[in-house]
Amino acid sequence: MSTATYTVTGMTCGHCVSSVTEEVSEISGVTDVAVDLPTGAVTVTSDREVSPDAVRAAVKEAGYEVTTT
> What pLDDT, on a 0 to 100 scale, did the predictor assign at position 68?
79
Residue 5 host element (H or E) = strand 2-9
Tally of structural domains, the chain: 1
Average pLDDT for runs of 10 along the chain of length 69: 96 97 98 98 97 97 91
- The domain in which residue 44 lies consists of 2-68
pTM summary value: 0.93
> What pLDDT, on a 0 to 100 scale, did the predictor assign at position 69?
65
> What pLDDT, on a 0 to 100 scale, did the predictor assign at position 7?
98
Q: What is the rounded distance in angstroms from the CA atom of residue 49 to the CA atom of residue 9?
A: 23
CATH number of the domain that 61 lies in? 3.30.70.100
Residues contacting residue 55 through CB under 8 Å, at least 6 positions apart: 4, 6, 24, 27, 42, 44, 66, 69
Q: What is the rounded distance in angstroms from the CA atom of residue 47 to the CA atom of residue 37?
A: 24
